Amino acid sequence: MFFSDKMNNALNEQIGHEFAASLQYIAIATHFDSAGLAGLAKHFYSQAEEEREHGMRVLRYVLDAGGTVAIPAIPAPKGRFKSAEECVKLSVDWESTVTKQIHAIVELAIKENDYTTQNAMQWFVEEQLEEVSSMEALLNIVQRAGESGLLQVEGYIARKGAK
């Protein structure tokens, strides 16, 4: 095994965090979907897919490195929202939290002289920079547009192309 039991546990927790983020984004996508905002819905369904892939990426790393995968209980996502702003604000908070979680794993890896996990986590460190900045950009647009301007936000997402 390439890492300690402590690291194995931290990585399993991270698999849970990524899957939890995936469920949260599905819940947000559903909120937009039922409001007829297809662009925002599509954007968040695709974010949900990315988070699932992140979870799978950590999972595969645990397996490749000879660890044991144990998927933790995933808390229910928040499902009711008062506004689009609330949805996107929650998403920014999620991304900031996940960034801290990834950084904590890197810190542990440094402390344990675990070069393999340090290296594996670099992809996530970069990814979080992108995720936080694009979610903050979306929050900015949603706040400027206001609830009555959400169709313009749809246009923005369509031009930007849901990634």
Instruction: Using CB under 5 A, list all residues that contact Fe ion.
Output: 18, 51, 54, 131
Rank residues 1 and 71 by Cβ distance to Fe ion and give the closer one.
71
Per-residue DSSP letter, 58: H
* Minimum distance of Fe ion from residue 39's CB (angstroms): 19
In DSSP notation, 81-148 reads -S-HHHHHHHHHHHHHHHHHHHHHHHHHHHHTT-HHHHHHHHHHHHHHHHHHHHHHHHHHHHHHH-GG
Rank residues 51 and 154 by Cβ distance to Fe ion and give the closer one.
51
* Minimum distance of Fe ion from residue 21's CB (angstroms): 5
* Minimum distance of Fe ion from residue 128's CB (angstroms): 7
Rank residues 50 and 85 by Cβ distance to Fe ion and give the closer one.
50
* Minimum distance of Fe ion from residue 41's CB (angstroms): 17
Rank residues 159 and 163 by Cβ distance to Fe ion and give the closer one.
163
Residue 107 Rama label (left phi>0; alpha psi -120 to 50; beta): alpha
Residue type, 19: F
Residue type, 161: G
